[in-house]
Amino acid sequence: MRKLVLWAFFALLLILPLTAYAQEGESTPEAANSLDINTNFYNSPAGWHVFIPSGWTSESTPDYARFTSGSNVIYVREYPGMDAPTAAAQALTDAGITSPGAAIDQRDLQLSNGTWTQFVYSVENARAVVHTQEYEGTRYAMVYTGDSAALPLIVMRENLLENPALVEDGMIEAARLINPAITAPVTTETIPQGTSSITIQTYDGGITAIGSPRGSSVYTVVGSGDTDMLNRTSAYFTVLNDFFLTPDTQPYLFLGLGLASAIMLLLLVSLLLRWRGLLRDEAALRELEEA
């Protein structure tokens, strides 16, 4: 009876960790994130991935990401060892835009996922925008272009939170990159959205800008103002903001494996040494006993 109680107690203890496992999966931060290839483009050798905007077609190859919607194109690729202007020009060529000429605007942007350089090019009758960033020796570039000019343009403004009027100011600056003739908006409308807001401005010549503040940058899309514009706004900034580099953490994996095996080895060696010592003692004692 006593034994039965003991074993029952023991069995209970064995079950305990299993119940915890069930909860563990939900609550530990270590839970593995794997890739859903339907919503992400993952460049395995270079270790970066971007989100595929919903409604866009992916025409990617293992080397680059290329998403299209109508005649609008998003193109992302890495350029090891290139400087910003070279990589931007090369990315434009790779995206299928021939002879864009020199950039008409170039500026640095501090965003949540690093410092990007933004280039604006004049392409035939429209514009193209390139965002590029260097991280640990490799440059990454993304190109956005299309027939109807709906392009993402980011402008930095200090103290944006204290002074919301700067959003409108930043949007005008962005719109002037598309059409330098613009001076002031015809209409301005601001819609509050949670803690943030969306501002819509219209200008002469059928140009519309949609802008929103984030950190110290004004995210603006300037275009022809059709219904598709909001969708593209979302798509462009999703690609830019969710661009993610998988960090190279392999040395730590090896370090961890090495230390873990060292500890296990230590236990086994200690067991072995004690075992052999005891057997030697036993043999010596037996000899003494017989003598």
Partner 1 sequence: MTAAAAHSAAESLPRANRLGSRLLILLSILTVIGVLIGLYLGMIAAGTDIEQGEVQRLFYIHVPSFAGAFIAFAATVVGGVAYLITRSVKWDTLALAGVEVGLALAAINLVTGSVWARPIWNTWWNWDPRLTSDAIMILTYAAYLMLRSGIDNVDTRRRFASVYGILAFSTVLITFLIIRIRPDTIHPVVIGPVLTDASMMASQGDFELNATPGVTSAVAFASAVWSILVPWVLVWWRIRLENIAHRVSALRMKVMEQ
Contacting residue, 146, 208, 234, 269, with partner 1 by CB under 8 A = 234
Binders of partner 1: how many residues, by CB under 8 A?
83
Nearer to partner 1, 165 or 191 (CB): 191
- CB contact set of 212 (below 8 Å; sequence gap of 6+): 167, 193, 196, 197, 198, 199, 218, 219, 220
Does position 193 bind partner 1 by CB under 8 A?
Answer: yes
Instruction: For the CB of residue 39, give the shortest distance to partner 1 in the complex, in Å.
Output: 6
Residue 141 per-residue DSSP state: E
Distance CA 236, CA 140 (A): 16
Stretch of residues binding partner 1 (CB under 8 A), selected from 61-69, 87-95, 142-150, 257-265: 257-265
Cβ-based neighbour number of residue 84 at 10 Å: 21
CA gap 151, 224 in Å, rounded: 10
Q: Measure the CA–CA gap between 262 and 147, rounded to whole angstroms.
A: 61
**Residue 47: both structure tokens together:** 């270790």
Q: Supply the minimum distance, in Å, between the C-beta of residue 104 and partner 1.
A: 25
Q: What type of residue is 276?
A: R
**Residue 238 is a binding residue for partner 1 (CB under 8 A):** yes
Does residue 69 bind partner 1 (CB under 8 A)?
Answer: no
Considering only residues 142-181, where is the footprint of partner 1 by CB under 8 A?
A: none
Phi-psi region at 17: left, alpha or beta (left = phi > 0; alpha = psi -120 to 50): alpha
Q: Which candidate, 217, 248, 221, places its Cα nearest to that of 114? A: 217
Mark residues 89-128: x for contact with partner 1 by CB under 8 A, - for none. Answer: -----------------------xxx--------------
Pick between residue 161 and residue 257 the one whose CB is nearest to partner 1: 257
Which residues contact residue 176 at a Cβ distance below 8 angstroms, ignoring those fewer than 6 apart? 182
Which residue from 188, 214, 224, 225 is in contact with partner 1, where contact means CB under 8 A?
Answer: 214
Nearer to partner 1 (CB atom), residue 184 or residue 266: 266
Tokens of 139: 């440059």
Beta carbon of residue 148, minimum distance to partner 1 (angstroms, whole number): 19
Answer for which of 104, 181, 266, 269 binds partner 1 (CB under 8 A) is: 266
Q: What is the spatial distance between Cα 182 and Cα 278, in angstroms, rounded to a whole number?
A: 92
Nearest to 129 by CA among 110, 113, 105: 105
User: Judged by CB, which is closer to partner 1: 32, or 165?
Assistant: 32
Residues 25-54 that bind partner 1 (CB under 8 A): 27-36, 39-40, 42, 44, 47, 49, 51, 53-54
- Of the listed pieces 66-74, 79-87, 169-177, 238-246, which binds partner 1 according to CB under 8 A? 238-246
Minimum distance of partner 1 from residue 51's CB (angstroms): 7
